[in-house]
Amino acid sequence: MPIVRTLSAVLLGFAVPGMAQNAGAEPLTASKAFREASAAVGARLAEGDVAGANASLSALQPASPGEKYMAGSLALEVASRRGDMRAQRAAVKAMLASGAAPAQQTGYLRYLAGYFSAQIGEGTEAAAHLQAARQLGYDTPPANLLLADLEMRRHRPAEALAMLDAAIARQTAAGMKVPVAWFERGTSMAYTLKNWPLVASYSARRLAAPSTPADWRSAIVNYISGAAPQGEAQLDLYRLQYATDAMASERDFQAYAALALAQGYASEARMAIEAGRSKGTLLTSDAAINPLFAKASVKAKTNLAEMQKLSGKSASAASAAAASAAGDRLLSGGQYGEAVGYYRAALAKAGVDRDRVSARLGIALARSGDLAGAQSAFALVTGPWRDVAAFWSSWATNRSAASPTAPSGN
């Protein structure tokens, strides 16, 4: 933890410009006795005699506001050398109480008082100091993050999220990268609130950074478990889990295949089971999977025939519903470029479910390689489908970072 002012400023005389006073303020001065006692503390510190320096503090006997401020500053440095958080807090509070603290340092001193209070378990006092620091203009990411943690300890997740958002905003405005741990913290806070759009938002922003299959699986599975999205939206999240190689268990593949079949996408259900078997996660002898595979295999033939009839005919779709359904069929079958045409045709017609179709268009564009086009489509999505779009947008962001020359336009 940085010290507010250097010890050398204390020792080199007390009408010291280095005290960083306000323009027009009287310079801090000290008596001869105080200067001599301060020099004794400094000499012991210079020798590495921290215990001796600590014992010498009692000889300071500050009388004026300036002396009290400087005594607190010396005590802070000694306490810092000793690693004594409680003594550091007492020193900072003495500096604040002196009445001589420069105005531009007061916010920072309040932050220090809050930091040290938090470290010794005085959460209520810590929060008061930190809020005061923010009001005095010391509104930094570390201060806001500490306040967020304190609010969570007080079981106030909404207030904690507000502080976390303030930290993220400050970090972003400064042009600095936001640590992924901040987004993970936000996801946890939002989950406590059962605010699923916020869970999706924080999760997606975390996943936009380089992420492992385990990261993707954890985020998607936890979101589905809490939010319980409706069938088609949930299927799109399983598709994302598959696309990120985040299918890690028998249950993952089985849930994906079962939902795909239930939504009418038999060929996709069969593909999911075959992928699980190829990976060694599903066994051909699995009694729970085999009936599902048999049913999907029979219906897959019809699905494939339907997809063949749709090729190149998006312009002839009679309605938004028909165009959207055709796009869904082609998306399910991995014919992403063909699906794009139908989704665009749907969006040009009356009565379209714009959020759903825009999300699906974004997925089809992303999977076909048009990452910029995908992001444009995802940006249009609102309502319940926004969460799906947010997760898939993160995937497109990752793909763009991995392939900066990815094609655009479709």
Helices marked H in 180-288 — which ranges?
Answer: 180-193, 196-207, 213-227, 231-243, 250-262, 266-279
Q: What residues does each domain of the chain span?
A: 1-117, 311-402
Closest to 31 measured CA to CA, from 3, 2, 59: 59
pLDDT computed for residue 285 by the predictor: 85
Residue 130, C-beta contacts closer than 8 angstroms, at least 6 positions apart: 110, 111, 114, 143, 146, 147, 150
User: Residue 327: how many CB atoms within 10 A of its CB?
Assistant: 29
- Residue range 344-393, pLDDT digits in tens: 999 999 999 999 999 999 999 999 999 999 999 999 999 999 999 999 99
How do residues 370-381 score in pLDDT, each as one tens digit? 999 999 999 999
Record: fold of 311-402: 1.25.40
Whole-angstrom distance, CA of residue 244 vs CA of residue 4: 48
> What does pTM read for this prediction?
0.81
Q: What is the pLDDT of residues 65-82, one digit of tens each?
A: 999 999 999 999 999 999
